[in-house]
């Protein structure tokens, strides 16, 4: 691909501003641009023109259908295709796209979970156009669809999706941060502040041949059996290694498809684990970035398919090696192009910078439970706390330089000395922070952004960013309330920083997050270690969450309860599906293969002893094999029994806890027996590809 064709391809499948310009008059275009930028209402006539322009473009691109594209409460994205074509009176077809169809869609929402927000008799849900994320064309093997990003709400306006709350959280952080920065300088030209994100997407790539041979991968996205091979990632020889030909051509095609969708990869490389890779897009507005991350995941999967590969987005497809995360790089940008998380050049800017960093640190501490909850899924539970994934204790890492600045500000000093320190600190121009990587930190300050490393690779980043936005907005709001009437802004800023840091610096930690010492230390600081999802999800329905989200009109109590219920139920469903898949693989494949080997050993022993040859080795092997076969049988029985009793538990939370404590326990035990046997049974008898078979295909 040369640079010219690259720039021609960029955004080719997006109804972006340059496309709009071509399909609308200058006057229409500038009116629409104003509406989109300022979130205003469309009048009917302009709406018709806009829908006509979009239709003309989409048909020219070869699309015959359009769909409202949204993110329901579980699953990735949803779409229902509607045709542009209608029969005309003369046996022909006409193309129509009524503007009402652009703005609002009615969808039978009964097949989407609502967590009690809708009763079955009011099954309808409405999709409403989110014109801040441009429409785009999605290519299927033989057709193209115009996708219109929408939010999804019930008839009384409750959100049934992940995007509507995200949009509302953007408004909250915009309003509150504007207030704060205007206190520092009300002559600035800033009219809008928005979070920016760049979500690094990790994934595994394996051959379709191997994938098809393993039910666990096909049904659950991860291996439920498999012993660790002798050589995996110990030598780190895969990280940033040469990207093999097959993978390189896959990545090229991914780049190309993403280019058309207006998404530029900033980096792409091998990750530490075998068969693991990463793609990081250029950062941008959080709303668009969230949609784009969904498209990145869809594209990775679709292109892999074309290359006879399978892209695994599961957080922990393989035991004993690194899992996949979605490092959510988050910052705040102004419409004048300023990054509010960059150190300023003047004392005024530096005071503002330190205050905003203080707000973020305080927000992470104050709302750590909610941030932890935003990453809680059955699949991410398998990844957290090990193999380069952050631990389950939330902490933040800001690097020594920045920590040093705060330490200087906070140190016990006389009033007079305090003023001098602040003055010096603010005047000091620090161009570079030592933000060395701390792979074990859930929240790391990197150059000019915070990297939240806890979210899992398969989830939408809508929820964690909604929470991050609102948590920070709330802190900034608290600060703005205090500073709005300040007579001496610098003194008050310093006092505020000192006060907040004294309360919240317990969240700062620069050491090894996996160490036993940190567990102890965190406990003594009063930080929680929330190890599993059923525990973590409760944060959504705590009074603190209800009051935070209702204050900014993000989620009502009912909406929060619905999220809690859906997520809690999903935890149980996923674990149940895994348990059933394991049982089936153990009964149909693994046990028969092991019995076959055991029979062979018995025969061999008989034959040898018939010839008066000692069969000590065979006997020892047989003993080991039989022990594990008995273990498999016993654990199958126990798992069946526990599944039966767990499914009967009515209370959703108690049921999930039983899945966590009972079902997973027997699944682990069953796996252990099978994995022991995998190391004994000859390759030609073992019924599924091993980790080595899968990795060596790399």
Binding Mg ion by CB under 5 A: which of 161, 200, 369, 381?
200
- C-alpha distances in angstroms, 353 versus 73, 197, 441, 442, 446? 36, 18, 22, 22, 14
3-state SS class at 127: strand
Minimum Å distance from CB 267 to Mg ion?
A: 6
In whole angstroms, what is the distance from residue 52 CA to residue 34 CA?
A: 19
Beta bridge partners of 443: 396, 452
Angle, helices 400-410/347-366, rounded to nearest 10 degrees: 100
- Of the two residues 238 and 567, which places its CB atom closer to ligand ADP in the complex? 238
Q: Identify which of 374, 396, 460 has the alpha carbon closest to the alpha carbon of residue 201.
A: 460
- Of the two residues 51 and 181, which places its CB atom closer to ligand ADP in the complex? 181
- Of the two residues 314 and 326, which places its CB atom closer to ligand ADP in the complex? 326
In whole angstroms, what is the distance from residue 382 CA to residue 270 CA?
A: 22
Q: Identify which of 536, 516, 506 has the alpha carbon closest to the alpha carbon of residue 396.
A: 506
- Of the two residues 125 and 198, which places its CB atom closer to Mg ion in the complex? 198
Contact set for ligand ADP, span 182-201 (CB under 6 A): 196-198, 200
Q: Which residue sits closest to Mg ion, CB atoms considered?
A: 200
Query: Which of the listed partners (Mg ion, ligand ADP, none) does 113 bind, with a CB threshold of 5 to 8 Å by partner kind?
Result: none
Minimum Å distance from CB 200 to Mg ion?
A: 4
* Contact pattern from residue 267 through residue 306 relative to ligand ADP, giving x for each residue in contact according to CB under 6 A and a dash for the rest: x------------xxxx-----------------------
Binding ligand ADP by CB under 6 A: which of 448, 495, 640, 676?
448
Minimum Å distance from CB 454 to ligand ADP?
A: 14
- Of the two residues 387 and 573, which places its CB atom closer to ligand ADP in the complex? 387
* Contact pattern from residue 300 through residue 339 relative to ligand ADP, giving x for each residue in contact according to CB under 6 A and a dash for the rest: -----------------------------xxx-------x
- Of the two residues 448 and 640, which places its CB atom closer to ligand ADP in the complex? 448
Binding ligand ADP by CB under 6 A: which of 138, 449, 475, 567?
449
Query: Which tokens sit at 86?
Result: 């209608």
- Of the two residues 329 and 494, which places its CB atom closer to Mg ion in the complex? 329
In whole angstroms, what is the distance from residue 209 CA to residue 228 CA?
A: 20
Query: Which tokens sit at 187?
Result: 């002559």
Q: Identify which of 42, 84, 30, 81 has the alpha carbon closest to the alpha carbon of residue 61.
A: 84
N-terminal to C-terminal alpha carbon distance within the chain: 25
| Helix (H) / strand (E) containing 665 | helix 664-678
Concatenating the DSSP letter of every residue in 333-364 gives EETTS-BTTSPPSSHHHHHHHHHHHHHHHHHH
Angle, helices 347-366/489-504, rounded to nearest 10 degrees: 30
> CB-based contacts of 196: which residues, under 8 Å, 6+ apart?
283, 284, 285, 286, 289, 330, 331, 332, 333, 339, 449
Binding part of the chain for Mg ion, among 107-115, 196-204, 447-455, 510-518 by CB under 5 A, reads 196-204
Minimum Å distance from CB 592 to ligand ADP?
A: 45
Query: Which of the listed partners (ligand ADP, Mg ion, none) does 449 bind, with a CB threshold of 5 to 8 Å by partner kind?
Result: ligand ADP
Contact set for ligand ADP, span 196-235 (CB under 6 A): 196-198, 200
| Helix (H) / strand (E) containing 498 | helix 489-504
Minimum Å distance from CB 150 to ligand ADP?
A: 25
Minimum Å distance from CB 329 to ligand ADP?
A: 3
Query: Which of the listed partners (ligand ADP, Mg ion, none) does 319 bind, with a CB threshold of 5 to 8 Å by partner kind?
Result: none
3-state SS class at 395: coil
- Of the two residues 296 and 312, which places its CB atom closer to ligand ADP in the complex? 296
Contact set for ligand ADP, span 587-616 (CB under 6 A): none
Q: Identify which of 60, 210, 192, 190 has the alpha carbon closest to the alpha carbon of residue 132.
A: 192
Minimum Å distance from CB 281 to ligand ADP?
A: 5
- Of the two residues 200 and 366, which places its CB atom closer to Mg ion in the complex? 200
| Helix (H) / strand (E) containing 268 | strand 265-270
CB 668 within 8 A of CB 202: no
Total residues binding ligand ADP (CB under 6 A): 16
- Of the two residues 197 and 493, which places its CB atom closer to ligand ADP in the complex? 197
- Of the two residues 328 and 477, which places its CB atom closer to ligand ADP in the complex? 328
- Of the two residues 184 and 239, which places its CB atom closer to Mg ion in the complex? 239
- Of the two residues 148 and 472, which places its CB atom closer to ligand ADP in the complex? 472
Contact set for ligand ADP, span 338-357 (CB under 6 A): 339
Q: Identify which of 302, 310, 307 has the alpha carbon closest to the alpha carbon of residue 141.
A: 302
Q: Which residue sits closest to ligand ADP, CB atoms considered?
A: 198
> CB-based contacts of 522: which residues, under 8 Å, 6+ apart?
393, 395, 509, 529
Q: Identify which of 130, 403, 141, 421 has the alpha carbon closest to the alpha carbon of residue 286.
A: 130
Minimum Å distance from CB 274 to Mg ion?
A: 18
CB 618 within 8 A of CB 604: yes
The reply to whether 202 sits near Mg ion by the rule CB under 5 A is no
Q: Which residue has the tokens 């603010």?
A: 426
Minimum Å distance from CB 328 to ligand ADP?
A: 9
Contact set for ligand ADP, span 462-501 (CB under 6 A): none
Binding part of the chain for Mg ion, among 12-20, 152-160, 195-203, 334-342 by CB under 5 A, reads 195-203
Residues at the site binding ligand ADP, with contacts judged by CB under 6 A: 196-198, 200, 266-267, 280-283, 329-331, 339, 448-449
Residues at the site binding Mg ion, with contacts judged by CB under 5 A: 200
């Amino acid at each position: 691909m040369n640079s010219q064709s690259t720039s021609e391809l960029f955004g080719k499948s997006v109804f972006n501003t340059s496309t709009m310009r071509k399909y609308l008059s200058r006057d229409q275009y500038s009116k629409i641009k104003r509406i989109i930028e300022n979130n205003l209402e469309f009048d009917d006539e302009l709406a018709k023109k806009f829908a006509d322009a979009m239709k003309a473009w989409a048909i020219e691109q070869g699309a015959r259908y359009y769909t409202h594209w949204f993110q329901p409460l579980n699953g990735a994205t949803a779409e229902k295709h509607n045709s542009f074509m209608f029969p005309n009176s003369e046996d022909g077809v006409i193309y129509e796209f009524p503007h009402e169809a652009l703005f609002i869609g009615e969808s039978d929402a009964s097949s989407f979970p609502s967590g009690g927000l809708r009763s079955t008799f009011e099954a309808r849900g409405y999709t409403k156009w989110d014109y801040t994320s441009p429409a785009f064309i999605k290519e299927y093997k033989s057709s193209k669809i115009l996708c219109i990003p929408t939010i999804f709400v019930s008839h009384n306006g409750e959100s049934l999706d992940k995007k509507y709350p995200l949009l509302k959280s953007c408004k909250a952080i915009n309003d509150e941060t504007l207030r704060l920065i205007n206190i520092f300088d009300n002559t600035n030209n800033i009219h809008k502040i928005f979070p920016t994100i760049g979500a690094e997407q990790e994934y595994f790539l394996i051959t379709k041949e191997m994938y098809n041979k393993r039910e666990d991968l096909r049904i659950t996205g991860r291996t439920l059996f498999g012993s660790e091979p002798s050589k995996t990632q110990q030598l780190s020889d895969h990280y940033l290694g040469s990207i093999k030909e097959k993978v390189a051509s896959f990545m090229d095609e991914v780049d190309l498809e993403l280019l058309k969708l207006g998404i530029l990869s900033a980096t792409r490389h091998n990750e530490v684990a075998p068969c693991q890779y990463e793609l990081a897009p250029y950062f941008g507005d959080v709303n668009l970035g969230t949609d784009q991350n969904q498209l990145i995941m869809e594209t990775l999967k679709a292109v892999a398919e074309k290359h006879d590969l399978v892209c695994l987005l599961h957080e922990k497809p393989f035991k004993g090696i690194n899992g996949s995360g979605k490092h959510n790089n988050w910052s705040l940008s102004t419409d004048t192009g300023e990054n509010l998380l960059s150190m300023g050049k003047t004392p005024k800017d530096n005071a503002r910078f330190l205050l905003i960093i203080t707000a973020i640190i305080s927000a992470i501490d104050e709302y750590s439970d909610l941030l932890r909850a935003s990453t809680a899924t059955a699949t991410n539970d398998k990844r957290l706390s090990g193999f380069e994934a952050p631990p389950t204790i939330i902490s933040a890492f800001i690097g020594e330089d920045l920590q040093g600045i705060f330490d200087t500000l906070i140190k016990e000093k006389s009033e007079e000395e305090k003023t001098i320190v602040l003055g010096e600190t603010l005047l000091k121009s620090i161009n570079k922070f030592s933000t060395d990587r701390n792979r074990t930190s859930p929240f790391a300050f990197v150059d000019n952004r915070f990297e939240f490393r806890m979210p899992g690779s398969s989830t939408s980043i809508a929820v964690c960013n909604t929470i991050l936005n609102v948590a920070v907005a709330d802190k900034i709001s608290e600060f703005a309330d205090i500073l709005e009437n300040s007579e001496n802004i610098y003194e008050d800023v310093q006092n505020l920083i000192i006060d907040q840091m004294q309360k919240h610096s317990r969240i700062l930690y620069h050491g090894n997050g996996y160490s036993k010492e940190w567990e102890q230390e965190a406990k003594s600081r009063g930080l929680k270690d929330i190890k599993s999802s059923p525990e973590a999800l409760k944060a959504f329905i705590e009074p603190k969450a209800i009051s935070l989200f209702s204050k900014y009109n993000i989620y009502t109590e009912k909406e929060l309860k619905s999220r809690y219920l859906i997520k809690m139920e999903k935890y149980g469903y996923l674990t149940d599906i895994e348990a059933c898949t394991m049982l089936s693989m153990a009964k149909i494949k693994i046990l028969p293969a092991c019995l076959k080997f055991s029979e062979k050993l018995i025969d061999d022993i008989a034959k040898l002893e018939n010839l008066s040859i000692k069969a000590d080795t065979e006997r020892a092997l047989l003993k080991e094999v039989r022990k594990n076969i008995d273990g498999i049988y016993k654990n199958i029985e126990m798992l069946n029994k526990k599944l039966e009793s767990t499914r009967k538990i009515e209370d959703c939370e108690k049921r999930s806890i039983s899945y966590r404590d009972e079902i997973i326990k027997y699944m682990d035990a069953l796996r252990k027996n099978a994995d022991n046997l995998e190391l004994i049974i000859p390759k030609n008898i073992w019924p599924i590809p091993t980790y080595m078979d899968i990795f060596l295909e790399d």
